[in-house]
Structure 1
């Protein structure tokens, strides 16, 4: 994903911190709390029944909760998110690592505390997706090593969610709120904190357009349906919509005004999504299906542009792209 470079002029101090506080109070902190609760529910469900069919519903609920804050990659989440959502996995490390653990019945797969040291390819939501939805892994029986491994993975995810929620609530939220204060070496001015959060909304939409949609699109001559995010669970389109919803919601908390263009752009995105027959993008080789994905991609970019016009411009924020950075 290309990095977004932001330049700021003329921001007033009070509106900046007001927007930051609203983003934390109304969006980010509740989002992490919801994810922590959903991950704990998933872990508890796995303790009762760790078979694949029993865990699909709570796993989807946990993924839904993650999309609220999953693209806010700053502070504790800058590195902490990597082991929650290891994607894209271009070299297939996740199935390889899981196969090694299962074939060798490695002891680390029975210990949630020790599992924190396992490769991130075998941790988090996508590793669990592989265990729950991939026929090569999901037919395990209750009481098997694979079933115990899933229980361990779910407990590890709950531990990660709890750690992220606590770090945001107890530490990093205050770093953002105290931007510009003496001793704050992370954000030297109030507008820097606002700018950082604004960047998260635009970066999320850029990643959705370029990777969540761009990767499976590939080229017209060579589409790549297997590269769709969460294709196994057929929630590729759902993720696009939920991450877009979250980016718009974050932008709204930063603004002190209505954002009708943003709301209209988001509504158009959802309207187009209603026309899909394959939410996992596996029919993308069909020209009509491909066209729908391309239209969704255009609407995601239009949503980003609306946020720039309704939030960035009034706040004196201008987004530009570093042409030397690629996907």
Structure 2
């Protein structure tokens, strides 16, 4: 089947090729309604599909945003992606998504592939292991927005949650319930300011309320460690906490499973707050109190920022957008003052 060409649309609509090009580019401010309607009907009749590759080579614009994430199946990330996609569709941009599975080499290949595809901008939740490449691309004029985390060695536009403020509020909520022995379970935070902010929020809440910091209550985990061992170390010591603040949704889910297996009743024996919403958390046997990062809004803000950078390329300043969080109080935290 022969595909219609731009000249075919122009001939049948009785206009010039440049007029059809202007219509396809949305530049028809001075075009009559009759001309616009003729072109639209001709495009439909001929089933004309613009050659986006040829147009991008000519205009250096593809109307495409590349997104790189480490796990698109997760509740939080999928909500961020939905926010990005909805905003981009509304702005007539397409989205290409790459999933890295926390593999830095796949992440590097994804960045290079998006460059080959000539995307107009990139939104990335990076591993922190390709910061030199991202820094070079950013300095060379690629419009890049980093989400979720920031790194000491990467000066780039970011969209982040209010990690410090939200952690402070959640910790103080536990303190007001009478808890003084509050443990954190977090990932390695050296050189990662966004994770450091969570620790700072916790520490500032404790200090403000006159509670001495106990570094033994800050437990570090990584994706390859045995979480049950981390839980054992936190809960089976002589000075065990009365509350645990988990900094990751997957850890919160594993902690709840651990409590169930070890007959630890929540909140009677242990109070729990999770950072990140859990799907259907309000339907659990004990509905879980969480810090909701508002992932859909993060996605919307990231898309808004990358499109702003695309339209203001002469302004090279990096921007930081902070999205507020919400403490959703449910039934997993017990008052010790009763």
TM-score normalised according to structure 1 size: 0.27
TM-score, length-scaled by structure 2: 0.26
Bigger RCO of structures 1 and 2 (CA < 8 A, at least 6 apart): 1
Relative to its length, the structure with more strand (as a share) is: 2
More helix by share: 1
